[in-house]
Amino acid sequence: MTSIDPTPRPRRNVELVLLVLALAVGIGANALVGVDQQKAFDTDFWFQSSLLAAAALAFHIVLRLRAKYADPVILPLVVALNGLGLAMIHRLDRVGEDTGNNQLRWTLVAMAVSIAVIWFLKDHRILRRFTYISLAASAFLLILPLVPGISAGEILGARVWIKFGSMTFQPGEIAKITLAIFFAGYLSSNRDLILLAGRKVGPIQFPRFKDMGPMIAAWLVSIGVLIFQRDLGSSILFFGLFLVMIYVATSRISWVIIGVGLIAAGGFVASRVFSHVALRIDGWINAFTDEVYGRAFGGSLQIVEGLFGMANGGLVGTGLGQGRPNLVPFANSDMIIASFGEELGLIGLFAIVLMYLLLFTRGFRAALGTRDAFGKLLATGLSFAIALQCFVVIGGVTRLIPLTGLTTPFLAAGGSSLLANWIIVGLLLMISHTARGPVDTTPLAPGEEPDPQKVLPVMPSKPATVPGTGRNSPDAPTEAVKL
């Protein structure tokens, strides 16, 4: 590196090369899965592979047309993860089951929705206008599974599903996006108040009580989800999302202290009051005792079988299609990480974890690069939501933390999760497009004022010209968020 070239480059060709490699991983996995059963290259295989490849290339073409400067590695990463998930789900299907094709259908729907988001939304800053509508939408989506009639009732101990006809859907997955939009919009407007007002107690500054309102609301939402929907995972996800976004917006450690305190208090009370939480914790700590292992409901059979599977896989795994991940209950959704651990081994599992890590860093890179506070917070929140989900799921499967019901993004079987995560990818790509794209650096003409009607709400109109140096400040101070 002798010269630094600051001009933005689209790098879509790099994306195409990586995308071909990612498709090779996904399709290769699908081929290997069947290689032992002599059904590797049947018509089903060609049909599935060509659909996945066509959808991925269509996505690539849309990016060329609509978001030329979007991050070139996000799409290949997601396609590789999704392809791996499809192969594993297909592999785990018993005779007569059709989860694999169902997952493929949902993948195509999710990619189409994600493409539509990129095509019609054009600019993520428009979403800021829907700050409070997003809050209402989140509340609506979270209440839906509790409404009699459309509620699918209690499935596996949680009330998070709704049903249309024969289909079921988890509205909570979409709620994490609308909540992220609300938090980003709210915090980017009210950051100053939260940041400046407050009392100092010792070395840390505590915010005023009325600025704590949304924080308490977020806490109540997550506790409500825990009580009424009996869904520990989503409750952790929503609260963690808010905590991280407010920390990023204000860079105040006091919020983290308050938040962790609230989580600890809520978790302690929940473990005492709710039997399902207590069972989860018992199944985590005492997983290997006979009594807990053999318990009919809420026992540790699932975790322990998953651990045995991963132990069987060892360093290099048994090979795709060669292990017996079917022995684990929910091997294709909750425990898909254990299935991969068994068949691809530690080396393959680390590759998957690294893909998530790379995806997460690209989300944060988009947040660092974009120039509006709303986009920064949204990208941070969305990529953190993916990361937290991975932590909760993989941590649960490997018995680092109690196992809770969250889905592994892009891998696990489940349409709502795929749809929500692909929409997140669409939004991240759009934010990275504004982050990496060329900046309009023409200074304001003397006397010219930006027209507030024409300017999008968050845009610091045109980048503020800094007098004295004549340099255009790309980190427009009014909107900058400390990251």
Partner 1 sequence: MSELTITALRFGFLLLLWVLIFSIVAAMRRDLMIGRKAAAGAPTARQVRKNPALAEKAAPVRQQPRQLVVTEGPLKGTTIPLAASPILLGRAQEATLVLEDDYASGRHARLFPQGSRWFIEDLGSTNGTYLADQQLTRALPVELGVPVRIGKTVIELRP
Which residues would be at the binding site for partner 1 (CB under 8 A)?
A: 1-2, 4, 6, 11, 14, 17-18, 21-22, 24-25, 28-29, 32, 35-36, 72-73, 76-77, 80, 192-193, 195-199, 208, 316-317, 319-320, 322, 344-345, 347-348, 351, 354-355, 358, 362, 365, 369, 449, 460, 464, 466-468, 474-478, 480
Write out the two tokens for 56: 């991925």
In the complex, minimum distance from the CB of residue 289 to partner 1, in angstroms, rounded to a whole number: 35
Closer to partner 1 at the Cβ: 120 or 209?
209
User: Cβ 162 to partner 1, closest distance in Å?
Assistant: 37
User: C-beta of 317: minimal distance to partner 1 in Å?
Assistant: 7
Beta-carbon contacts of residue 231 (< 8 Å; ≥ 6 apart): 158, 159, 160, 172, 225, 405
Q: What is the number of other CB atoms lying within 10 angstroms of the CB of residue 21?
A: 13
CB of 193 to partner 1, least distance (A): 8
Residue among 372, 370, 368, 369 nearest 461 (CA)? 372
Neighbours of 351 (CB within 10 A): 15
Closer CB to partner 1, 286 or 442, in the complex:
442
3-class secondary structure per residue, the chain: CCCCCCCCCCCHHHHHHHHHHHHHHHHHHHHHHHHCCCCCCCHHHHHHHHHHHHHHHHHHHHHHHHCCCCCCCHHHHHHHHHHHHHHHHHHHCCCCCCHHHHHHHHHHHHHHHHHHHHHHHCCHHHHHHHHHHHHHHHHHHHHHHHCCCCECCCECCECCCEEECCEEECHHHHHHHHHHHHHHHHHHHHHHHHHHCCEEECCEEECCCHHHHHHHHHHHHHHHHHHHHCCHHHHHHHHHHHHHHHHHHHCCHHHHHHHHHHHHHHHHHHHHHCHHHHHHHHHHHCCCCHHHHCCCCCCCHHHHHHHHHHHHHCCCCCCCCCCCHHHCCCCCCCCHHHHHHHHHHHHHHHHHHHHHHHHHHHHHHHHHHCCCHHHHHHHHHHHHHHHHHHHHHHHHHCCCCCCCCCCCCCCCCCHHHHHHHHHHHHHHHHHHHHHHCCCCCCCCCCCCCCCCCCCCCCCCCCCCECCCCCCECCCCCCCCCCC
Shortest distance, position 191 Cβ to partner 1, whole Å: 11
Looking at the Cβ atoms of 65 and 315, the one nearer to partner 1 is 315
State which amino acid sits at residue 282: D
Q: How far is the CB of 216 from partner 1 (least distance, A)?
A: 20
Cβ neighbors of 179 (< 8 A, separation 6 or more) are 134, 135, 138, 221, 238, 241, 242
Nearer to partner 1, 28 or 395 (CB): 28
Nearest approach, Cβ of residue 10 and partner 1 (Å): 13
Straight-line distance from the first to the last Cα atom of the chain, in angstroms, rounded to the nearest whole number: 27
- In angstroms, give the least distance from the CB of 230 to partner 1: 37
Give the distance from CA 387 to its chain's centroid. Answer: 6
* 177 vs 429, beta carbon nearer partner 1: 429
| Minimum CB distance to partner 1 smaller for 125 or for 371 | 371
369 or 402: CB nearest partner 1: 369
User: Which residue, 53 or 175, has its beta carbon nearer to partner 1?
Assistant: 53
Q: Please, which residue, 121 or 456, has the CB nearer to partner 1?
A: 456
Closer residue to partner 1 in complex, CB, 280/362: 362
Q: Least distance to partner 1 from the beta carbon of 205, Å?
A: 9
Residue 46 CB, nearest distance to partner 1 (Å)?
Answer: 18
Residue with smaller CB distance to partner 1, 23 or 160 = 23
Nearer to partner 1, 6 or 96 (CB): 6
Taking the complex as a whole, the smallest distance from the CB of residue 184 to partner 1 amounts, in Å, to 20
Least Å distance between CB 428 and partner 1? 15
- 167 or 347, CB closer to partner 1? 347
Q: State the minimum distance, in angstroms, from the CB of residue 18 to partner 1.
A: 6
CA pair distance 48, 39, nearest whole angstrom: 13
